[in-house]
Structure 1
Amino acid sequence: MTGVLVTRPEPGAAETEAALKALGYVPVMAPLLTIQPVPGPPLDLKGFDAVAVTSANGLRELAARSAERVLPLYAVGERTASLARELGFQEVYAAGGDVISLSRLLSGRGPRVLHLSGEDVAGELSPADVVVTRITAYRAVPVDDLPDAAVTALRDGQVAYVALFSPRTASVFVRLAQKAGLSAPMGGLTALCISAAVARAAQGFGFSQTRVAVQPDAASLLALLPAVKGS
């Protein structure tokens, strides 16, 4: 059976692990970031016309720090929007999966929008005719080393694919793989990247192939995998 290294942090890693098993692959778990909330007081949403979230992590922090569920909420993609509905938000809109599409969706929906994000962002929201106030709600902290099981699997050629879900995880993988003295195995190693920005961040490792998802979401990334024989 073919191994796939999963670098995605929780929450999300377990979901990817289950999806890979269902596809007939062997997930090798190596979350490279840990998500830590940034402490802060309850959110005061008075004066804002809408809230925007660019990740499920930002949405969870919003739900934890405010009981407000009526204000329109604009999510980066449909998966985050679905979670928002599960959490009780009543008016939810989904963009196309990235900051550009979310900025377009927000244009003219202001004049004031609160954006909850992580410490590192792929880009600033810039909707037309809207003033965006960004609050850092969480940070993604890199681990110090690749897990021993992941290093062994990579060295022994048990892994054929590395799933990379963000530029940050891609750069951390390259750094920690170099730290562990790893190089691409004889049979080659393929990077599965959720976006072109991720592919650029992964260039330092020497992947034999780099595949980029057609949409910046987990389902599109997993769709890069070939069908398993007999499945």
Structure 2
Amino acid sequence: MDRSAHAPLRLWVTRARPGAEATAARLKEMGHRPLISPLLAIRRLKPRLDLAGVGAVAFTSRNGVAAFAALSPERALPVFAVGDATAEAARDAGFRNVRSAAGDVTALSALITVEPAEGSVLIAGAREPAGDLPGALKAAGVKTRAAALYAAVAATGGRGLVALKAGKLDGVLIHSPRAARRLADLTMGLVPAAGAVPAFCISPAAAAPLSASPAFAPLAAAHPDEGALLSLLGKPRPPV
């Protein structure tokens, strides 16, 4: 589908807060009309962080960075970040030695394996991670320690789900495989009268749970970051 010039799109932002607000702001700058209605909510946990023997920290999301920063004043450890946005969040939090894998968990594992830390790598992330970073690093001989700093819990979808069922959306933005699975569960059996709604997904893994749904036509970004995701939308025509 050619999206080089079209009317502004009414888009459901399913991402958890506070990231949803940043995505909505970018959509507005592009001329689109975002509707924030998360499918997941972030709940910070309060584990006791033991950094003895830790040589570096691996972050798989900005939520992990924020949770770590709230629990510990440690900022001298080297950081491995899954992507550029997470790396930027780590620098903003005060970490000085930050390297970005500029990709997904597979790319992050490769970066850590090539540039090993002196000591264990603390994987600071979600209680239910999307990928098996500890397993991949263990297979490569890298010592790891996992710390569950937050949980992504299911949300109702609220106004977004209502707008979808009413045929008032031009698309849905999906930032994670778990959000896609939640959307698939909430819309099971739904067949929109106007046809399948485009689901703009941050990666093929995020698109996969929607591939069998008649409610959606999933499109995967060429690169697993929000810039590539938003490039799927094209640019609206200027007002006449």
**TM-score > 0.5 by shorter chain:** yes
2:176 to 166, 169, 180: 166
| Equivalent residue, structure 1, for 2:84 | 78
Q: Deviations over 1:93-139 (max 9, x none)?
A: 11122111111111151341111110222222223331111111110
What's the offset of the Cα at 1:39? 2.0
Counterpart-to-counterpart distance in 2, 1:7 and 1:27 = 10
Structure 2: gaps (5+ residues): 1-7
Q: Is the 8 A contact 2:169 2:197 kept in 1?
A: yes
Report whether the alignment pairs 1:176 with 2:182.
Answer: no
- How many aligned positions are there? 226
SS at match of 1:58: helix
SS at match of 1:225: coil
Q: Is the 8 A contact 2:62 2:86 kept in 1?
A: yes
Extract structure 1 runs of 4+ deviating beyond 4 A. Answer: none
Distance 1:182-1:34 versus aligned 2 partners, 3 A rule: same
Report whether the alignment pairs 1:220 with 2:228.
Answer: yes
Counterpart-to-counterpart distance in 1, 2:65 and 2:216 = 36
Report whether the alignment pairs 1:135 with 2:147.
Answer: yes
Letter in 2 for 1:88: G
SS at match of 1:214: coil
What's the offset of the Cα at 1:207? 4.2
User: 5 Å matches for 1:190-229?
Assistant: 190-207=198-215, 209-229=217-237
What's the offset of the Cα at 1:8? 0.3
Q: Deviations over 1:45-79 (max 9, x none)?
A: 12111111111111111111111111111111111
Structure 1: gaps (5+ residues): none
What's the offset of the Cα at 1:188? 3.3
Q: Deviations over 1:174-199 (max 9, x none)?
A: 21223xx7433414311111111111
Q: Is the 8 A contact 1:6 1:17 kept in 2?
A: yes
Letter in 2 for 1:150: G
Letter in 2 for 1:35: I
| Equivalent residue, structure 1, for 2:157 | 146
Counterpart-to-counterpart distance in 2, 1:186 and 1:70 = 54
| Equivalent residue, structure 2, for 1:230 | 238
Counterpart-to-counterpart distance in 2, 1:150 and 1:94 = 33
1:34 to 36, 41, 47: 41
Q: Which is further off, 182-191 or 107-116?
A: 182-191
TM-score norm. by structure 1 comes to: 0.91
Counterpart-to-counterpart distance in 2, 1:74 and 1:146 = 32
Counterpart-to-counterpart distance in 1, 2:97 and 2:157 = 41
1:157 to 149, 167, 174: 167
What's the offset of the Cα at 1:204? 4.1
Q: Is the 8 A contact 1:81 1:92 kept in 2?
A: yes
| Equivalent residue, structure 1, for 2:3 | none
Counterpart-to-counterpart distance in 2, 1:146 and 1:62 = 27
1:90 to 87, 96, 110: 96
SS at match of 1:123: coil
